[in-house]
């Protein structure tokens, strides 16, 4: 199937912690919750959800401060995001959840799963944050964590949306697709949530609450009992290199690994059919 720029989903909203959280959904049955990362929103899943919807109630939320969700005046720290993700699951009354995770959605989803194993029936993940970092090959993000430099580059120059996002996709985004990703962040101040996330990255030089939370995930993966699915593209990025695939194999006791083809970080924009079909096949075997 051709990759489409269209976003043919009705917007839905639910109140969580006094803020409106935007989400889309398609299908029926047990919930399949899609969690995005930085700087994307539910638009990332537009070509995957229609493939998976015959297997369950597909729901993609926009993290607080992202997409069409509200942007309250909060810190946008790790605990903030977890509070809204967990609040969203509770507000919708989601039970027997399958999680589909990318980027920071990986940390939030694995965090939830470790604390609510009885409510998570499976986890599919790709280019997902679930481990702490060292600085090798990540100098760009080190610069983002320098206060004045990071704010200027991310909020004023908008480099995440104008350079990093398209630069971590193999194909060229259409103008319509790129505009859809720009849409939630039209002003300098609206980009604060994007700016905060590099400052949360779990590097050993900054053992703050985000680092400790991801370290807990890293150390807890081996206790997860539910089926898991790792979707990886080549060459991928530092987040999911071939070495990292093996790292996950050694820790997740019930792991299936599927290579979906060429891709970098935002692999949903290069391989949506392969991702969607792999999730469907995995669900057919594990549910």
Q: Is 127 a catalytic residue?
A: yes
Residue 103 falls in the annotated catalytic set: yes
Catalytic residue among 62, 127, 177, 270: 127
Q: Is the peptide bond before 261 cis (omega within 30 degrees of 0)?
A: no
- Cβ atoms of residues 110 and 211 within 8 Å: no
Q: Is 240 helix (H, G, I), strand (E, B) or coil?
A: helix
The 3-state secondary structure of 189-201, one letter per residue: HHHHHHHHHHHHC
Q: Where are the beta strands (DSSP E) in 142-227?
A: none
**Torsion angle defined by CA atoms of residues 79, 84, 87 and 88, in that order, rounded to the nearest 10 degrees:** -150
Give the residue among 5, 242, 220 at the shortest CA–CA distance from 113.
220
Identified catalytic residue from 103, 111, 177, 269:
103
Active site residue 273: no
Report, as residue numbers or ranges, the catalytic residues: 103, 127, 265
């Amino acid at each position: 199937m051709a990759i489409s720029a269209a976003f043919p989903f009705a917007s839905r909203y639910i109140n969580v912690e006094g803020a409106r959280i935007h989400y889309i959904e398609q299908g029926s049955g047990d919930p399949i919750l899609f969690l995005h990362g930085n700087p994307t929103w539910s638009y990332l899943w537009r070509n995957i959800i229609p493939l998976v919807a015959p297997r369950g109630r597909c729901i993609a939320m926009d993290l607080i401060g992202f997409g069409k969700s509200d942007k309250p005046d909060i810190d946008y720290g790790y605990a903030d995001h977890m509070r809204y993700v967990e609040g969203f699951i509770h507000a919708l009354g989601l039970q027997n959840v399958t999680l589909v995770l990318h980027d920071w959605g990986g940390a939030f989803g694995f965090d939830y799963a470790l604390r609510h194993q009885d409510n998570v029936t499976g986890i599919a993940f790709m280019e997902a944050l679930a481990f702490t970092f060292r600085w090798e090959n990540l100098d760009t993000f080190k610069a983002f964590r320098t206060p004045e430099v990071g704010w200027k580059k991310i909020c004023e120059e908008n480099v995440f949306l104008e350079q990093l996002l398209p630069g971590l996709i193999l194909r060229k985004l259409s103008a319509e697709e790129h505009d859809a990703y720009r849409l939630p962040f039209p002003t300098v101040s609206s980009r604060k949530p994007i700016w905060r996330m590099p400052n949360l990255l779990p590097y050993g030089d900054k053992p703050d609450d985000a680092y400790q939370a991801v370290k807990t995930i890293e150390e807890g993966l081996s206790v997860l009992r539910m089926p898991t699915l790792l979707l990886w593209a080549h060459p991928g990025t530092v987040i999911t290199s071939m070495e990292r695939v093996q790292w996950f194999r050694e820790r997740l006791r019930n792991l299936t690994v599927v290579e979906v083809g060429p891709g970098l970080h935002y692999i949903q924009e290069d391989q949506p059919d392969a991702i969607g079909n792999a999730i469907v096949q995995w669900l057919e075997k594990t549910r």
